[in-house]
Amino acid sequence: MEETALLRETLGRVMRLRRISLGLTLREVAALAGVSVQYLSEVERGLKDASSEMVAAIAGALRLTLPEVLVLSAQLASAHEPAVPHTPAVPHAAHSAHGITHSAGGTGAYSGAAQATLALAA
pLDDT per position as a tens digit, 84-122: 444 444 444 444 444 443 333 333 443 333 444 445 444
Name which of 22, 114, 21 is nearest 75 in CA terms. 114
Q: Which CATH architecture group holds 1-82?
A: Orthogonal Bundle (1.10)
Q: What ranges do the domains of the chain cover?
A: 1-82, 85-122
Name which of 77, 83, 71 is nearest 108 in CA terms. 71
Whole-prediction pTM: 0.66
* Residue 56 exposure: Cα atoms within 13 Å on the Cβ side: 4
How far is it, in rounded angstroms, from Cα 87 to Cα 62? 33
pLDDT per position as a tens digit, 3-20: 777 899 999 999 999 999
pLDDT per position as a tens digit, 21-80: 999 999 999 999 999 999 999 999 999 999 999 999 999 999 999 999 999 999 988 876
